[in-house]
Structure 1
Amino acid sequence: WSQLTDSRGRAFHYVHIDQSLAGKRLTIMLHSGYPNWLGSIDYFMIGSSRLFLRNLSLADAIYISSLSVAVALIVFLIMDLAWRGSHARRRRMQLYLIGYLATFILWTTGSSSFFSRMYGMANFWWELHLVTLYLMPIFCAKITQEIVSPRYIARVKTTMSVFAALFVTATITEITGLDGYMNMLFLFYPLLLVGCLLLIYTLARSSWAHHPGCRYGTFAMTAIVIFGGIDALHWEYHQLSVMLSTTVFSIYASIPFIFYTIREQMLRDAALAEQNEELVRELEISQNEAQRDFLTGCYNRHQLGEGFAKFSALAYARGFKFSFAIFDVDHFKTVNDTKGHLAGDRILRQIADTIHEEIDRRHLFIRYGGDEFILLALHYDLEAMVAFCEHLRSILEHSLDGVTLSFGVSTWHGKKDRLRALIDRADRALYLSKEKGRNTVSAENEEGAA
C-alpha cells in the first residue's frame, strides 16, 4: 500500500504461505485513517486455498442471493406503483419501502468484500455503507408510522426525529472533516438499539386485529434487530467472529410484510372498484328511472325529442327509413270506470310488456301520457310500419280480454321533416282509425288522414 494510513474499508486479504516462509514470523500491521477507530481483523483463517475459496464463494453466494431478492422486491414495488395508480397513502408506503430496500442494498456494500473485490474503490463502498447505515432506521421509522395505531404515532415520530438528528449531525461533522460518520457510531449504535426496540414495542402494542400489518412489521423489525445486533457484536465490538454479515438475512423477514402490504392494497383497490361499479349501477338505475315511466317501464315523453333527433340523424346519414306510430286504448275511460283504475293500470302494463317482447334496439317505445303510446321504428317505411302495428294490434286484441287499441302511422320524409309534423300526421291517422270504428291501423297516406 502506498499510503499506510489510508482507510481501506472491509476486504479479504489472501496471503500465500509456502515452504520459503518456514520458520518466519507473519506480522500484520493495522492502520486506519480514523484517529478514534483503529483497524481490526474481523476474521482470521489458516487453511488451504481450496478451503478459503470455498468459504469465500459460499459467502458471496449468500450475499448475492440476498441482494437479488432486495432488487427484485424494488422492481416489484415500482411496477405495482406504476400500474395500479398513485394514491397518496399508497405512494408514501411504496416509496418508503423502496427507500428502505435501496439503503439496505447500499449498506451491505460496505459489510461485504464483494464489491471492493469486483470493482475496487474500497473507500467509496465504505463511505456509502456509513451513509446508508444512518438512513436505514429513518425509513424503518417512516414505514412503522404508516401502519401503527394512531396513539403510537407520536412516539414513532420522536424516534424518527432522533435518527434524523443523528444523521444530520454526523453528515455535518463529516463534511467539516471531523469523520462524523465514524466518530458518532459510539452514540449511534446504543440509540439505534433503543429506537428499534421502541418501534417493535409500538408495532407489538398496536391492535393486530385493526392494524394487521403490525404483525408482519413486528417480525421484520425483530429480525433486523437480531441480525443487526450479531453484526454489531462482530464488526464493531469484536465479540463474535463470523465470515458473513448476518444482516443480509433480515431481507427475507421483510418479504411477508411487503407482500402483505401489496396484497392489502390490491384488496382495497378491488373493494373500491366494486364500490365504483355499484355506484355506476345505482347511477344508471337512477338515470334510467328518470328516463322511464314508472308504471309501464316505457321511456317517458321527455325522451321523444332526443330519440327523434338520433333516429333522423342516423336515417339521413345512412339513407335509412324510419316511421312513427301513435296509439291508445279504445274507450279507456270506460275501462277505468267499469273495471277500476287498478285494472286500468294492469292493462297498461300488459300492453307495455307485450310490445317490449316484440321490439328490439331499432325501436323506441314511449308512454306519451295516460293511455297514449308512441313507437319510433328505424328501418321501417310506411308500409312496413303499418304491417308491424297491425301485428301488435292483433296480438293485443287477443290478450287483453276485449280491450282494443287504435293506431295512427306516419313516416319520416327527409331532413326537413320535423317532429311536430310527424306527430300531426300520425294524429290525423289515429283520428281516422277512430272514425273507422276503432281497433284498426291507419296510415298518413290514407284518404281522410292526409
Structure 2
Amino acid sequence: MMRRIKFREPLAEKIKRCCLLLLLLWSSLSPVHAAALADDWQYQLESGEDCRLSTMLQADCPERDTLMFMTTNQAVRIWFKGELLYERGSFAPVRFDEGAVLHVVKLPEFQGPEPLLVELYGNSQHNPGFFNMFFLDSELEQIKRLYYFDIPVILALPVAFIILVIMAVYQYFYFHGVKRLYGFISLFMLAFFGWLISVSYFKYILLDNPAFWWYCAGILAYLLPVSSYLILAELLRNKPYAHMKWIVRAALLLFLAAMTGELAGFHTMNGLMALYYPLMGIGGLAAMVWVLKAARQGDYLCRAVLLPTCMFTVFGVFDGLTGHFHLLPWRTFITPLAVYGFAFFVIEIMRGQLRQRQMLERRTAGLEQKAALARRRSDIDALTGCFNRNRLKSLLAAGIARVQLSGGVLALLMLDIDHFKQVNDTYGHKTGDAVLMAFSKVVQSELGQYSHCIRWGGEEFMVVVNATDRDEVLALAEKIRRRIGQTEIAGKWITCSIGIAVWQEAGDRPEALFKRADTALYQAKNSGRNRVCLTDGESVN
C-alpha cells in the first residue's frame, strides 16, 4: 500500500513555495543538477505498509552514478537491472525505531535505459515511515549537497563551542552568586552542541549508527527547552509576576513521560511531539512576556536574553513542525542560527561582568585612597602639618638604613620653644597655636631632603637629620636657632633651645638615642636657654 503526500492546505502551499524559493536562492551559490526521477518523491508509510517506486534511468550522463536518499523508520531494497543492488533495515516490525538513515548507493555502469526499483517497508510499530531527498548525481555533487544542507550547523558549532568554553571559565573563576546561571547556560549549550551534531549529516562520519543519532536528537530536543527555561527561571527568580517554575516543571514532566514511554516500547518520544510543540510555543511566548517586562524595569540581562529567546522559540517551532509533519522536501534546520542570538546574550553577560569589575576596582581604589589618607592623617600633626610621634620610629629606621648604605651620620635634634607657657598665658591659646604653626614652618624651611621635622608634643619638636658629618649637624642646629631668634614668629619674638644626639652605630638603639637628645635639651635649658647642646654637655654657643 502506498500513500503519497499532497499539500492541500493553503498555509502549507505558502510554506512550500517560500521554502522552495529559499532553496533555489541557496542552490544558486553553487549549482547542483540532480537527475529528474519523479515530481517530488516523498512517501509516507504506516506501520507494516510497503510500496515499490520505479523509474527508468537514462545513460546520457555517466558521471551521475551515485544515488542518495533518506528514509525514516523504513527498511529499503533497491533493484537495478532486475538484480538486488542494496538492502538496509528490517523488513519486519521492530520494537525500537531505526531512525533517519541517509543512504548513498553507487550504481554500476549501464548503457541504455535501465529500470530502478525502490522497495520500502514501514517497520515502526507506532510511527509512520518516511522517504524523501531522492537524488541521482555524481559523488562530488552529492557531497556538496550534504554540505549545503549542513551549512547552518557548520556555522553554529564553533560559536556553541566557544560559548561552552567561556561559560566553563566563568563558572570556575567567578563568585557563587551567578554560578547557577552559568551552570544552566553550560547545560543548555552542551545539549545544543550535542543536538547540532545529531541532526547534521556529517555525524555519519563519526558513527554510522542511525538509531543512536535518532534517539540522541530526540532526547536532546526534549532537554533543550528544559535547560533554556532553567536559564530564564534563574534570570526571573526575583520577579513576582514570573511563573517560570511551572513551565520548567511542565517541560520536565513531558520529557520524563516521553522517555518512560519510549523505554516501555510505546514510541512516545516521537508520539508526544503533538504536545511538545504547543508547550514550546506557549512556554516561549510566556517567557518572552515576562522577560520583556523585566527588561523594561531595567534588567540588562533580561533585555539581552530577549533576542535568543525569540529566535530559539520561533526557529525551533518552525523546524519542529516542518520536520515532524514533513512540510518541506528537504531536511535542513534553521534553529542552529539562533546561537548567534545567544552569543549576543553571552557578550552582554561578559560586558556586565566587566562593568562590575571596573566598579569594584574603582570602589577598591577609593577605599585604598581613603585608607592612605587615614594613614597619612594618623602620621601628621593636624595643627602644624609636621609628622607626629607615630612616625618617629619609621623615620629613624629609614635614617639608620641610609647611614649603613651610604655612610654619613644620623642625628636627632630635640627643640623646645623657650618660655612658651608665658605666651599661652599672656596672649591665649589661639596665639600660642599660631606661634607653633609659624615655628614649624621656619624649622622645615631649613631642612634638606633627608631631614624631617616631628612635633613631639606641646612646644617640643624633633628633627631627624641625615648629614655628612657631625659638624654639618651642628651647623644646621645653630642655623635653626639663629633663624628663630631673628624672625618674628606670629607677631612675637621667641627663642628656642636644641639638644643633639648622634647615632652610635655599634650597639646603639633608638631609645638610647632619644634619651641622649632629651638629656642634651635639658642641659641647654639649664645653661640659660637659646642655645644648642651636644649629648656630652658641650655647648655650641
TM-score scaled by length of structure 2: 0.71
Map of 2:161 onto structure 1: 71
The counterpart of 1:408, out of the listed 492, 499, 505, is 499
Contact kept, 8 Å, 2:413 with 2:517, in 1: the verdict is yes
Map of 1:116 onto structure 2: 204
Deviation at 1:245, TM superposition (A): 1.0
Q: Deviations over 1:6-30 (max 9, x none)?
A: 7454453334567568352432525
Map of 2:84 onto structure 1: none
Deviation at 1:136, TM superposition (A): 1.8
Give the alignment of 1:305-324 within 5 angstroms. Answer: 310=397, 314=401, 322-324=410-412
Map of 2:456 onto structure 1: 368
Deviation at 1:337, TM superposition (A): 4.9
Q: Deviations over 1:204-230 (max 9, x none)?
A: 122434212222211111100111112
2:293 paired with 1:205: yes
Count of matched residue pairs: 445
Deviation at 1:268, TM superposition (A): 0.9
2:147 paired with 1:57: yes
Map of 2:191 onto structure 1: 103
Moved more, 319-328 or 14-23: 14-23
Distance in 1 between residues matched to 2:377 and 2:262, nearest whole Å: 71
Give the alignment of 1:20-419 within 5 angstroms. Answer: 22=113, 24-31=115-122, 34-41=124-131, 43-45=133-135, 51-82=141-172, 85-148=173-236, 150-152=238-240, 155-174=243-262, 179=267, 181-304=269-392, 310=397, 314=401, 322-337=410-425, 340-353=428-441, 365-377=453-465, 382-393=470-481, 401=489, 402-414=493-505, 416-419=507-510
SS in 1 for 2:382: coil
SS in 2 for 1:206: helix
Residue identity opposite 1:203 in structure 2: V
2:509 paired with 1:421: no
Deviation at 1:170, TM superposition (A): 3.6
Q: Deviations over 1:179-210 (max 9, x none)?
A: 55344433333222222222112111224342
Contact kept, 8 Å, 1:109 with 1:126, in 2: the verdict is no
Change (3 A) 1:23 1:396: farther
Contact kept, 8 Å, 1:234 with 1:241, in 2: the verdict is no
Deviation at 1:318, TM superposition (A): 6.5
Contact kept, 8 Å, 1:142 with 1:160, in 2: the verdict is yes
Residue identity opposite 1:269 in structure 2: R
Contact kept, 8 Å, 2:417 with 2:494, in 1: the verdict is yes
Distance in 1 between residues matched to 2:97 and 2:488, nearest whole Å: 102
Contact kept, 8 Å, 2:152 with 2:334, in 1: the verdict is no
Distance in 1 between residues matched to 2:293 and 2:321, nearest whole Å: 28
Q: Taking every aligned residue pair, what percent have the same amino acid on both sides?
A: 24
Unaligned runs of 5+ in 2: 1-86
Distance in 2 between residues matched to 1:379 and 1:141, nearest whole Å: 76
Residue identity opposite 2:158 in structure 1: S
Deviation at 1:126, TM superposition (A): 2.8
Deviation at 1:107, TM superposition (A): 1.0
Which structure shows the bigger proportion of residues in helix conformation? 1
SS in 2 for 1:210: coil
Moved more, 90-99 or 352-361: 352-361
Distance in 1 between residues matched to 2:167 and 2:528, nearest whole Å: 78
Change (3 A) 1:416 1:40: same
Moved more, 14-23 or 147-156: 14-23
Contact kept, 8 Å, 1:397 with 1:405, in 2: the verdict is yes
Change (3 A) 1:145 1:359: farther
Residue identity opposite 1:27 in structure 2: V
Deviation at 1:429, TM superposition (A): 1.8
Deviation at 1:256, TM superposition (A): 1.4
Map of 2:525 onto structure 1: 434
Which structure shows the bigger proportion of residues in strand conformation? 2
Distance in 2 between residues matched to 1:27 and 1:397, nearest whole Å: 122
Distance in 1 between residues matched to 2:443 and 2:167, nearest whole Å: 56
Residue identity opposite 2:361 in structure 1: A
Deviation at 1:48, TM superposition (A): 5.7
Change (3 A) 1:236 1:374: same
Q: Deviations over 1:12-56 (max 9, x none)?
A: 333456756835243252545x53223323544455655543332
Contact kept, 8 Å, 2:499 with 2:524, in 1: the verdict is yes
Change (3 A) 1:246 1:380: same
Q: Deviations over 1:352-404 (max 9, x none)?
A: 45555666885564321111112334577644433443454456566654444
Map of 2:22 onto structure 1: none
Moved more, 105-114 or 288-297: 288-297
Distance in 2 between residues matched to 1:42 and 1:328, nearest whole Å: 107
Change (3 A) 1:447 1:100: same
TM-score scaled by length of structure 1: 0.84
Moved more, 229-238 or 200-209: 200-209
Residue identity opposite 2:497 in structure 1: S
Change (3 A) 1:448 1:162: same
Structure having the higher Rg: 2
Change (3 A) 1:137 1:305: same
